[in-house]
Amino acid sequence: MPSTGTNTSKLTVADHPLVQNLLTRLRDYQTPSSEFRERARQLSYFLCYEAMKELGVREVGVETPIGPAKGTALSDYVVFAPVLRAGLILAEAAQEVFPNARIYHIGLRRDEETLKAISYYAKLPEALPSESRVFVLDPMLATGGSACAAINLFHQLNVQTIHLISIVAAPEGVKRVHDQFPNVHITTAALDEHLNEHGYIVPGLGDAGDRIFGT
């Protein structure tokens, strides 16, 4: 694994064979959009599963056809923040596994010349419970500009627990996020080699938004 120079206890690379198999399908430039979307959604379930393993639960009782049993109910105030556009694919899976979460879409577009993230949409509440768990959803963590801009919106609302779920991360992006937000945990399917001169992740999977939705 390449060195990020940052806190690896706050970085989880999901190396499960099923995850890596799906990721390989996404990396393949010959994978058509229709399959790409489906594989990305399947991969997103696994990443959600990994990233949400510390969700709070409370004990509840439940009746099986045979008799009473002990069970649990999810108890955290959960927020999903998909970064448009590509984050929508992660949001679809996240919403299915946690239907009661609040969703706040974050519109960010990376300027291809400057590589700076430009905000075009963010409609957040004035306040969130400080114990909220926010999951920022963005498949590509490249320079980290988009992730930091999205995370910062929730940091400013004093949210203590912010998690970033990505599909592919570059060391440069991981470092930038952890330099600015040391407590943010990142879950990803891959920590790739580096960024190229155009700010694309190498080897990466190309332009995630274009591959999901078309150019």
Interacting residues toward ligand PRP by CB under 6 A: 83-86, 108-110, 115, 117, 138-147, 173, 199, 208-209
Q: Using CB under 6 A, which residues numbered 152 to 211 contact ligand URA? A: 199-201, 204, 207-209
The backbone torsions φ and ψ at residue 11, rounded to the nearest 5 degrees and listed phi first, read -135, 120
Residues with catalytic roles: 110, 114, 207, 210
Report the residue number, 76 or 192, with the smaller CB distance to ligand URA: 192
Residue 109 touches which of ligand PRP, ligand URA, none (Cβ within 5-8 Å per kind) = ligand PRP
Of 43 and 147, which CB lies nearer to ligand PRP in the complex structure? 147
Binding residues for ligand URA, rule CB under 6 A, total 9
The least distance separating ligand URA from the CB of residue 22, rounded to whole angstroms, comes to 17
HEC-encoded secondary structure of the chain = CCCCCCCHHHEEECCCHHHHHHHHHHHCCCCCHHHHHHHHHHHHHHHHHHHCCCCCEEEEEEECCCCEEEEEEECCCEEEEEEECCHHHHHHHHHHHCCCCEECCEEEEECCCCCCEEEEEECCCCCCCCCCEEEEECCEECCCHHHHHHHHHHHCCCCCEEEEECCEECHHHHHHHHHHCCCCEEEECEECCEECCCCCEECCCCCHHHHHHCC
* Nearer of residues 11 and 86 to ligand URA, judged by Cβ: 86
83 binds ligand URA (CB under 6 A): no
Residue 123 CB, shortest distance to ligand URA, in Å, is 23
Residue 117 interacts, among ligand URA, ligand PRP, none and using kind-specific CB cut-offs from 5 to 8 Å, with ligand PRP
Q: What's the min distance (Å) between Cβ of 107 and ligand PRP?
A: 8
Output the CA–CA distances (angstroms, integers) from residue 99 to 42, 78, 203, in the order listed.
17, 10, 34
Closest-CB residue for ligand PRP?
209
Q: Which residues bind to ligand URA, rule: CB under 6 A?
A: 140, 142, 199-201, 204, 207-209
